[in-house]
Structure formats: C-alpha cells, structure tokens
Chains A and B, each alone.
Chain A
Amino acid sequence: MTEPHVLAAESLTLAYGDRTIIDALDLTVPPGRITAIVGANGCGKSTLLRALARLLPPRRGQVVLDGKALSSIPSKEIARTLGLLPQSPIAPEGIAVTDLVGRGRHPHQKLLSRWSARDYEVVALSLAATGISDLADRSVDELSGGQRQRAWIAMALAQETDILLLDEPTTFLDVAHQVEVLDLLTDLNRDRGTTIAMVLHDINLAARYADHIIAVRFGRIVAQGRPGDVITSDLIRDVFDLDSLVVQDPVSATPIVLPRGRHHVVGRAVTPEPGALP
C-alpha cells in the first residue's frame, strides 16, 4: 500500500440552523490507527463524524482529505477512500445479504454496469471476513442484530476504503456481539491498515480497542491521545459529569472506568440526597 490517506478537520464549525454544535475544531484522524470519539449524549460527536464523512456541510472551515477539501472532490471519488457506517442504516426490504454487501461496490462501478469478477471476489471476501458466508443468500430481514451488523460492516469492507468511519457500531448489540464487532474492526485495522474512526458510547470498550481517544464536550475536544494517557477520573468528570475510579483493566491492561453513582458504593454508609455531590 502507498501512503495512508489522511483525514483532517480545519477550524471546522458545524451548526443546525442557528445552533452551533461544533465550534472551530481542528482535528487529524491518525492514519492507520483506531480512533474512538467519546463524549456525553448531545456533545456533537455524531455530528462531527457526519461532517468528516461529508454528510453535513460545514458552516465554516473544512474537512480535508490528503490536503484537499472534501467539497472539491467528486463524491464517488471520496467514496473510494472514505466509508461510513451510519448508526441506523436501512436495509431495503427483502434484500439478500450478498446484494446488500454488493452495494458497497457502487463507487467502483460504472453507470449501469454489471458486477465484475472483481466485484464478486471482493463481496465474497467481505462475507468471509465478517463470518457470514453461510448467510449469503439469506434475506437481511431474517438476520439477528449481530448478524445484521456484520452484514453492514461487510458492505463497508466491500467498499474497500482506506478510511472507515462508524457511528456507534455496537449499539443494540449484546456484549458478546459488541466485542465481536470491535475485534473484527481491529482485524481490519491490523490486516489492511485501514484507518478507523468511530463514535463509541462505551468508554471502557473505547479504552480497550482504540489507539487514540478523542474526548468531546460541548463541541470542543477536551482531550486526545492514547487511552492510557487520556482516560483519568478527572477527564471522566469533565466529559460526563461523573464521579469515577479509573483502574487498569486486568484483561487488556488499558484503563477501565468504574463509575461511582449514588448507590452501591462500598464504604459510603448513607445514600446522599439527589443532587448532592460527594
């Protein structure tokens, strides 16, 4: 592979109507790494991801891919480098898994052209990589949540992009499937060198699977860097307004956040009144 592609935001301001979500944000997605964007609900992390994927035009500033503004690159050309798995993608009714995954080939196909040998090959490989080859001819409607998410990731793989953005790829999945999806993305990153940037809700999974954490609050980056350096109880308080203990995960040797709520905290005899902070 040649030089990895670089995606960056330059003094990016995003707004819906007159409500500013992201204000003059600078960011470079570390090429060849796995980045997790974390933050409280409504902090603007999904909005940021949408803008990085050119789905939301910036109010000011720009998103640049290899130094060129996204707005100046033809959409299909971007789609060969940059893929996005939205939070709740829609499967056409009754579509077979193979055909869904094949939609990922769209940026590589010409108008009205049939599938090439290469298209078939990539689709088969994507099905195999996500472990759903035996579901190839099943209808996506019939799949379980975990299988369906793998089908969507297979579609993103079939797109063969060097950069893959994912908006909460583990939502609606049980813990086993969450780990499975993140393992799959790690494989993709290690085997193909794919740059991955995703919004993740689960701070502990983010700390375990990401090389790089970007913590967002009120549309600004509060901290970024290696999980071990960045994730501290101070940061968790800043970003989530949550009191917590951060320890080392004995399984992965990454930080793990143990929240301290109002209840079930050892050594705290009396539950404080709602609103009272310790």
Chain B
Amino acid sequence: MTLDSVVAGRQARIRRHAVTGGILVLLLVAAFLVSLMVGNTFYGPGDVLRVIFGETVPGASFTVGELRLPRSVLGVLSGFAFGIAGVTFQTMLRNPLASPDIIGISAGASAAAVFGIVFLSLTDSIVSVFALVGALFTAFAIYLLAHKGGFAGARLILIGIGVAAMLNSVITYVLSRAAAWDLQTAMQWLTGSLNGATWAAVVPLAIASVVLIPLMLAQARGLDMLRLGDDSAASLGVRVIRTRVLLILGAVALLAFATAATGPIAFVAFMAGPIAARLVGPGASLLLPAALVGALLVLIADLIGQFAFGTRYPVGVITGVLGAPYLIYLLIRTNRSGGSL
C-alpha cells in the first residue's frame, strides 16, 4: 500500500514536470515559427516550413532563410546557453543572485570580445575563443578573490558585482575607441542584440551547443545531488570537485560562446532558472526547463523589441526592462530577510 502511494506520488510529480516541459517545447516551437513569419513582409507557416526544409520559395528563401532564420536560431541557441549557464550557477551557489550575468562573467566574455574586435580586428570564431578566455579568466579571478569565504556565499556575489561594474567600464572604454561603430553595434556588447545575426555568427555557438549541452545534461544528476550540500553529495558517491569543475567549465563556455555571438543579453541567465523553477514546480531538475525558458525569453523579447514599438530595440533592452524589476525584488526580499544574500 505504501509502495503504491510512493510510486503514485512520484509519478505524478514526474508527469507534471514532463507536461510543463512539453508545453515549454510547444511554446518555443510556436515562438520560433512566429519569429520566422513576421517582419516587413509576412510569410505564412507553409512558406516558412518549406524554406526550413530546403525548398526554394521566391522572396521567402532569402528573407526567411538568410535573414530571419539565423536570427531566430541564434536567439534559441543563445537562450539555451544563457538559461543553462544561469541556472547552473544559481543552483550550485544556492542563490538566484549568483547568475553569471550578475557576477561579471558575461561582462568578462563581452569585454574580451569587444577588445578582440576593436583592437585586433578578429572575426567570429576567433572572437568566440577570445570571449571564452575572457569569461574563464573572469570566473577564475572572482573565485580567487572570493576564495576566503568558501565557494558559496554573499562574498562571491558582491565581489562579482564589483568585477561586473569594472568590466562594463572596460567595455564602454573600448567602444568609445571604436568611433566607426554605430549605436546598434555598441548596444550589442552592452546589453546584447540579435541584429548581427548571420550564419557565420551562428556556427561557433552551434558547435559549442552540440558539444556542451549534452555534457551539461549528463551532469544534471550531479548538479541535483550537489543541492544536498557537499558533504551529503560526497557521501552519496558524487565526486564533488570533479562535478563542480565540469559544471562551471561547461556553463562558462556556453555563456562565452553565446556572448560572443549576441553580446551579454541582459538578465536572461538571471531570470530563466527562477521562472523555470516556478513553472515546473519544486524538486525537479532545472537544466532543461531553464534552457527552454531562456530561449523563449530571448525570442519573445526580440519580437517585442523589433515590432512592438515604432523604433526597433535590441533584445537586451527588452530583457533588461523585464529583468531589472526582478533584480530589485530579489534585493528587497534579501534585505528584509536579514541582509545576507
């Protein structure tokens, strides 16, 4: 009798997670198709699907295939990357504020990328490597600076926020040296944008995603076990340090490749995990839901930025408007609960 109710209870939770995940997938597919359909010229779903499957459709083949498709694919992939990277850090540090876009790792990737572009005239794939090095270096520097307080804790977050501010001023400085750039390009490196989307920009991120996302999903169980605390996880047979290093490297790399392609799209890494947690309910593994929510956030925010107003805004402006109130809410809640982050 007990056994049956235990099985039933757990199956119900698993079903709920699966249904929520399924709905998120459907929403993402819908948002993806809509993002391919709308624009200056509207193309019906039939045209869009035929372009996707390689048929030649006059007009649509270029507009959808060369302009919208790379943009939407880039949106989805960067959303996956930001979502996974964000929720990995938040889960490991047990703090929603510990997202890599808050603690300066995104800014590190972005700073290295603009530096490479402006001063060294690098192109897409090398820029990605630069961003990766920048992000890894930043993560390592924050870790070293915060090391005294252990791996977790408010100290790391506060140091991270300081590092982020510093790196953002580096980005601004580099941008000010690039007189030839327009505001749109500058915005990409400050808040993130899909405007530069070309297939050439998609390729490095796509390759990174194919390699890193399965690697991260393979560590999902380890990440779940780490939530019990290091001691419990270790005594249950998890190789804590190895798991943590793999997760950090994977998350930082995904984040860096996405940042190199789109810039640090504001607050997506920060918001995706908590939203996913609300949706799928407690206790579930969050990597996959956070990836889906991240992609949805980017696609929808980009649609809003492009078409909801008279002017076209880069996606990061919209996600920034969404994310900032949530950040303030978290800070207020933290303050009320006694000041420790």
Contact = CB atoms under 8 A, between A and B. Distances in A.
A86 B6 contact: no
Nearest to B281: A94
Interface of B (DSSP majority class): helix
B123 interface: no
B23 interface: no
Contacts of B2: 124, 127-128, 133, 136
Nearest to A83: B235
Contacts of B10: 96, 98-99, 102, 115, 120
Interface in B5-34: 5-7, 9-10, 13
B235 A136 contact: no
Contacts of A120: 3, 6-7, 10
Interface of A: 50, 53-55, 75-80, 82-86, 88-96, 98-99, 102-104, 106-107, 111-112, 115, 120-121, 123-124, 127-128, 133, 136-137, 139, 159
Complex A-B, nearest 8 residue pairs according to Cβ-Cβ distance, in ascending order: A94-B282, A79-B237, A76-B237, A84-B235, A90-B229, A92-B227, A107-B237, A86-B231
Interface residues of B, number: 28
Contact of A75 (B5, B6, B238, B282): B238
A58 to B, nearest CB: 15
Nearest to B12: A137
Interface of B: 2-3, 5-7, 9-10, 13, 94, 218, 221, 224-225, 227-232, 234-239, 281-283
21 contacts: A53-B231, A53-B234, A55-B231, A55-B234, A84-B235, A86-B229, A86-B231, A89-B228, A90-B227, A92-B228, A95-B282, A102-B10, A103-B225, A103-B232, A106-B221, A107-B237, A112-B218, A115-B10, A120-B7, A128-B2, A133-B5
A106 B226 CA distance: 12
Given A89-B231, A96-B10, A96-B283, 17 more contacts: A54-B235, A79-B236, A79-B237, A83-B235, A86-B235, A88-B229, A90-B232, A91-B228, A96-B13, A99-B10, A104-B236, A106-B221, A106-B237, A111-B218, A120-B6, A127-B2, A136-B2
